[in-house]
Chains A and B, each alone.
Chain A
Amino acid sequence: MAEWLDKRIKHVFIFPAIIVTVLLLVFPLIYTVYMSLTSWSGSAIQGPRFIGLDNFTQLLGADDRFGAAAGRTLLFTGVTVAFELVLGYVIALLLRKSFRGERLTRTLILLPVVATPVAISMAWMVIYDPNIGVANQFLQAIGLQAQQFLADPSAALWWLMVVDVWQWTPMIALILLAGLTSLPEEPFEAALVDGASAPQRFRFITFPLMIPVMFAALVLRLVDSLKTFDIIYATTKGGPGTATETLNTYGFMQAFEYTNFGLASAVIILFILIVLVITLITSKGNERAGRVLQ
């Protein structure tokens, strides 16, 4: 008996975790899948009607807003993550050598990351205000034309990307900085002995060694950026028109503004699929990069 228990005690210990996972993850997910096959407006009188895949065919076929929102989600994620990686890398390289005020700088750089996104959004709304904001005063001071910023349908999404890059680049920089400082010293010493120049050392040693760290940062940021909701909702609510609507804000509108719970669930299911595919591709890339290194 004691032996039996010894062998199985591990299952007992993970049981609470399984319950929590099922309750908070598996059940809602399955339920969302079910809801996505129904049509329901939240009525106490009219129950959900099972309509099969109609929501999906509507979203993928007739619904222009969905396609446009998906495109914007990918564009937003692609551009912000690319900028954040490059800028983050540059900042990490600059911060790598120790200098006076190093700790203070690192602390300051972290500020955007720890601030509440909604508070940040409010601050940027004031900055971006076309009539009283400092952004236009700055642009005009350096001789550029005043902008409409978030009120310009063709540019609003790009100005939101600026906010995202501003907020999250420091985090990437810190992750990469941690990677840089933990690189082994031997290859660099050997390269110095062999007379490699600084660019050569970067190209042939630092960069390849950093690839796994960069992938870690990439995956982390990619998933997060795809999910961006707060800065968009707090600033433009997807507007002007639908110019900054992403899958997240579209799903939110469908659920809580229009009470189309079935359709909202379908949006979220499709969104999860997109995130899943992107994450899979990225982790495959990570594996391949790891293999090349070996």
Chain B
Amino acid sequence: MNHVKAAPAAELPLLIPPRPKLRLDPRYLPLTVTLGLFVAMFGAGSYAFDGFFSLQVFLNLFIDNSFLVITAIGMTFVIISGGIDLSVGSVIALTTMVLAALVENQGWSPALAIPLVLIMGAAIGFIQGFVIHFFELQPFIVTLAGMFLARGLCYLISINSIAITHSFFTEVSAIRFPLPFDSSISINVVIALAVFAGALYLAHYTRFGRTIYAMGGNEQSALLMGLPVARTKILTYTFSGFCSALAGVSFTFYMLSGYGLHAQGMEMDAIAAAVIGGTLLTGGSGYIAGTLAGVLIYGTIQTLIMFEGSLSSWWTKIVIGLLLLVFCLFQKVFERLTQRRGAARPA
């Protein structure tokens, strides 16, 4: 179940019957399927529509979904740790709202307001993690309350949308980094990729990351192993809260407004991206890279529907739901296969 430590590749032939050398490590199977699906979908789009196959269309997947990348990465950490965070969407909304209110209505400098909202997001995550750990409550119900709270706070600030006209935001949102073939990316993509790189490092090369995997695999044994479960669990939710706030900031650059209805249902999109990316919702297994692939698939579906023209936006939901179903069933089958193999091993 727990894939924290890679078994040395050389030992594998001893345990299982010899097979062709280029065999894929089964642990990477879900990730490969996800990547393969993305390539297939993008390929199908390129085949079906003129102008689909271009670097800019590919980069637009990042530009239009950078905040989803950031949120989903935070969510992936939480899910790997064996929890769930339903508050992410409303924390994004709250961030945009607080940012807009501070900058536009109170005349704060963005240099002060942005760090403040980031701290606020992290603090919300911290409190949720604290309550989940110390009262031994289900993450589901605590973050649900967090979701209510953050949305409610949005409406306390204002029930209307606050447009942002501050020069810092308009200028930052207009920045485009040119790339070859007449393409460019926005600053949000840079933020998202930075978060992605940081998350890769955090998940696979630090003690914190390993503890999260261990905790998600089996919290009891992680505790018995002497791992700092309490600290890690609270930090995981804090990280997710921080990611949501950062996604909120990047969402503000994208939308140039603060609104209580922003990012409605984003928590489900983030969960879907993580699951499609091969993260097991039971915890203990998953890849940050898979989540990025999940978001790309999500973006590709939207782009395909946009290029098709006659399909309505709700088809996105239906296709995402079906993909979720397929991946969950696939994971179930996969889980059963690996369990059977694991059970057969001692014999």
- Same complex for A and B? Answer no
Chain A residues close to B by CB (< 8 Å): none
